[in-house]
Amino acid sequence: MEENRDAFDRITGLAKRLLGAHASMISLVDEERQTFIGHAGLRQDIADEGGTAISHSFCRYAVATGERFVVTDARDSALLRESPAIDDIDFVAYAGAPLSLDDGGPVLGTLCVVEPHPRTWTEADLATLDELAELARTELRYRMQSREVELVGRLALRLPDPVNRLGDAVRTTATLVERPEDPRLPRTADVARERFQAVETLTEDLSRAAAGHVRCRPAEPAPVELNARLERAVAMVRSAARRQDLVVEMTPDSLWVRGILADLDRGLSLTLVTALHHAGETGPVQVRLWPESGVARLSVVSPGFAAPVNELLRVVGSFHREPTGAEPVDVTARAGVTRVRGALATARTGTQGTVVEVALPLEPQERQEAEALPGALEAPGLPRQVTR
């Protein structure tokens, strides 16, 4: 996207200036690297590299969760305090908004701002960041659509020649069929088949390119192995956290649930990121997964600090969304404990910490096997209350 750099640089320049930030970047994130397609205020050696290894990325957490990610001081976060970005590139405070081409679609990267010292980002700061992120999304959509249209056009221009050649072969074959004794018939038939294959291949390429330009249908729920997705989310958050900050207990038996893979990945990642990011120093974050009474139960216990209620609303809502896109939740506060209840997940938070519990129905076969396991109905000693 080098030719599009100016537009993205202007957006990051605006973000840097309007938020009074040390630096701003638009990054595209994959499993190995974050690439800056626009930046302002970056240290020159980082700007020359055009990005960093994924190990130095705070943006990956916004990409994994699909939610805005905000850091006041990375050195105080159990999720980030081991990140090499703190010492190597002086990233201490961070705010990043996710960038996707469509609502609910894959998150490609972020628009973010960073500081080399602690900073509390205000609501006005974050509102400005969100508005600029929408500009970046619009620019990304435009660039991607322009490339798709260009590709479709190039393929379409290639189509007339093989179609005409195929037509010649078909007409010749039709003529020879009327004279079956003509020795040229077998060879002409072979030529017709070859030319038809060329047209068929080009048509398939054109169809795929055109399909990329048309809004994809929403993903359908399908069986998903919950253990594997949880292991993936754990590996992501452990890459920067200290190993002792996260204790995981997981049943060895595969637990299959029905859901949309991308949504489930985001829900699991958001739960772990939120738990570690707001964990205190009183003990590790405890993650447990086990089968019980026809459901897969997940518990995430983060002792120490109360997580912000608005973040718990996002966590609870991420596990089940109505067709309207909103998850009905019930929020109550009593005796210093706030509870957020949804259809599949609940969370409670207080001065002693935060607990998130998720119950996902097992697929029918998995339900039968889980109920047949000895002791499968016994919860592994999970704390049921945060405060007395």
pLDDT for 32-81, tens place per residue?
Answer: 899 999 999 999 999 999 999 999 999 999 999 999 999 999 999 989 98
pLDDT of residue 373: 52
166 and 41 housed in the same domain: no
pLDDT of residue 386: 36
| Any domain includes 86 | yes
| Beta strand pairing call for 246-250 and 285-292 | parallel
294 and 346 housed in the same domain: yes
287 and 209 housed in the same domain: no
pLDDT single digits (tens) 76-98: 998 998 999 999 999 999 999 99
Residue 383 near residue 344, CB atoms below 8 Å: no
Average pLDDT over residues 243-269: 90
**Global model pTM greater than 0.85:** no
pLDDT of residue 9: 93
120 and 68 housed in the same domain: yes
Q: Which domain holds residue 249?
A: 222-372
Give percent of the chain above pLDDT 90. 47
pLDDT tier at 388 (50, 70, 90 boundaries)? Answer: very low
Alpha-carbon gap, residue 316 to 342, rounded angstroms? 6
135 and 206 housed in the same domain: no
85 sits in which H/E element: helix 85-88
327: helix, coil or strand? coil
235 and 350 housed in the same domain: yes
The candidate with the shortest Cα–Cα distance to 25, out of 66, 64, 67, 56, is 56
The candidate with the shortest Cα–Cα distance to 192, out of 174, 209, 170, 211, is 170
Listed in sequence order, the residues at least 6 apart from 148 whose beta carbon sits closer than 8 Å to its beta carbon are 209, 212, 213
pLDDT tier at 379 (50, 70, 90 boundaries)? Answer: very low
pLDDT of residue 120: 96
Average pLDDT over residues 333-338: 87
181 and 139 housed in the same domain: no
Instruction: Please indicate whether residue 322 or residue 117 has the higher confidence score (pLDDT).
Output: 117
pLDDT single digits (tens) 339-358: 999 889 999 988 888 999 99
Alpha-carbon gap, residue 297 to 288, rounded angstroms? 8
pLDDT of residue 377: 37
Instruction: Please indicate whether residue 339 or residue 141 has the higher confidence score (pLDDT).
Output: 339
pLDDT single digits (tens) 296-314: 999 999 987 778 888 889 8
257 and 368 housed in the same domain: yes
Alpha-carbon gap, residue 130 to 128, rounded angstroms? 5
Instruction: Describe the crossing of helices 185-213 and 123-158 by its angle, rounded to 10 degrees.
Output: 160
**Across 56-70, 97-111, 114-128, least confident range:** 97-111
Average pLDDT over residues 11-23: 96
Give percent of the chain above pLDDT 70. 71
CATH code assigned at 15: 3.30.450.40
As for how many domains the chain has, the answer is 3
The candidate with the shortest Cα–Cα distance to 11, out of 132, 94, 131, 180, is 132
Residue 165 near residue 194, CB atoms below 8 Å: no
Residue 189 near residue 173, CB atoms below 8 Å: yes
pLDDT of residue 1: 44
Average pLDDT over residues 100-107: 78
